Amino acid sequence: MSEVVLPALGESVTEGTVTRWLKKVGDTVAVDEPLVEVSTDKVDTEIPSPFAGVVQQILVQEDETVAVGAVLAIVGDGAAAPAPVAEVPAPVAAAPAEPAPVVAPPVVAAPVVTPPVVAAPAAPVVAAPVVSAPVAPAVVSTPAPVVAEPAESDPNYVTPIVRKLANDMGVNLANIAGTGVGGRIRKEDVLAAGSRPTAPVISAPVASAPAPLVASPLRGTTEPMSRLRKVLAERAVASMQQTAQLTTVVEVDVTRIASLRKRVQGEFVQKTGVKLNFMPFFTLAAAEALAAHPKINSSVDGDSIVYHPTENISFAVDTERGLLTPVIRSAGSLNIAQIAQQIADLADRTRNNQLKPDELSGGTFTLTNTGSRGALFDTPVVFLPQSAILGTGIVTKRPAVVTDAEGNESIAIRSLVYLALSYDHRTIDGADASRFLTDVKARLEAGAFEANLGI
């Protein structure tokens, strides 16, 4: 028989809560095979079995909290001892009782919410407006004298005959360049314009109706907070109570980075195995700026400010259990490929409960990609002991004023993003935040990351 104990899951972790057993009594388990899921105040993780054998006993039930070192289960050789079965005396001179019918619980199918079949209203057929020719005025018996057209005439003047012809043919006079004297529009100009094929009318794309929202099964229910949710709630409240937080926002033009991504995406995926998105660029630009602005990469310790020697950047990962922030250590020393690979690996293991507790600690600054769900920007909360967090909004194409090398301005379609820096005003002033964001903005807008790609 071998005892499986709750291992130390980090320097400051003293206890854990069993959230789910992955094996039951009588199951065979191999060495390093996941045996049980445990939640701590830092991480939800799977505990592998240190022994091979059969699960003989489970000593800690789900939702029970125990200290590090407590025995969770017993694993041994051979089959688990069967549960004692009460001996049923043989019936005396009576027909054997019919076994009670096994009534299976009714299978209640989840209500299939069938969206009402609403026939999409046919787009109304809008016939081109039929412009009836204006009724010509009654002919006056005495015709107006015919005045010869002068050689010098107003080019904006259009004779009634030409105007009526244009009206009958549906020709817009404003779109015609006249060939008459002084640029006057003639009958021949209207006829020529009416014989040219009209430009096709491009209708606006019809937006498809979104799928109807299905009501969540959580409506009208109550559930206890998970250990992780409790810890997040306590830390968020403590951080807001103990610090003075505010947020500064800048808009950044990342068109050059968008072009670089498009140009190298295929090669990048082939050589690194991961896609190249905007997050590695934001991470590297932030790490470089943190080295130049140590106040943003600091912590408060009593009456002292600790300026960290490395840029350990936490990044937020949305999981079913809540928000977790694994750490990319010494991010400023990495290239884009290394950062992209670490983000992909850490995020995947975070969502699959395979993260080591130490991979969640030691962060000095946080990045949160609030744009991953379509938000323009938000005001993220700084979690102690860090002093700042940078939120990156969604990258969208919008018209913007651009200036060329000669100082000429024009409007162009650009890829733009909002960066929102929340910070602890006890040690970081608005000017400090603005200087940091200005440097991040300049680095990203220059888009000169070819030497940092690492491929």
Q: How far apart are CA 68 and CA 89, in angstroms?
A: 47
Residues with catalytic roles: 425, 429
Cβ atoms of 11 and 68 closer than 8 Å: no
Burial (Cβ within 10 Å: 0-12, 13-18, ≥19) of residue 428: buried
Q: How far apart are CA 129 and CA 18, in angstroms?
A: 73
> Which residue matches tokens 């006057």?
184
Tokens for 366, please give them. 């946080």
Q: Which amino acid is at 268?
A: F
Cβ atoms of 314 and 361 closer than 8 Å: no
Whose CA is closest to 262, among 251, 279, 278? 278
Task: Spell out the residues 6+ positions from residue 141 whose beta carbon is closer than 8 angstroms to its own.
Answer: none
Whose CA is closest to 15, among 39, 45, 47, 48? 39
Q: How far apart are CA 19 and CA 17, in angstroms?
A: 6
Cβ atoms of 280 and 336 closer than 8 Å: yes
Cβ atoms of 340 and 354 closer than 8 Å: no
* 3-state SS class at 409: strand
Instruction: Establish whether the linkage from the previous residue to 380 is cis, with ω within 30° of 0.
Output: no
Q: Write the CA distances from 167 to 130, 132, 198, integer angstroms.
A: 11, 9, 16
Length of the chain: 455
Burial (Cβ within 10 Å: 0-12, 13-18, ≥19) of residue 323: middle
> Which residue matches tokens 């000669």?
406
Facing residues of 400 across strands?
Answer: 412
Q: How far apart are CA 375 and CA 372, in angstroms?
A: 7
Cβ atoms of 189 and 166 closer than 8 Å: no
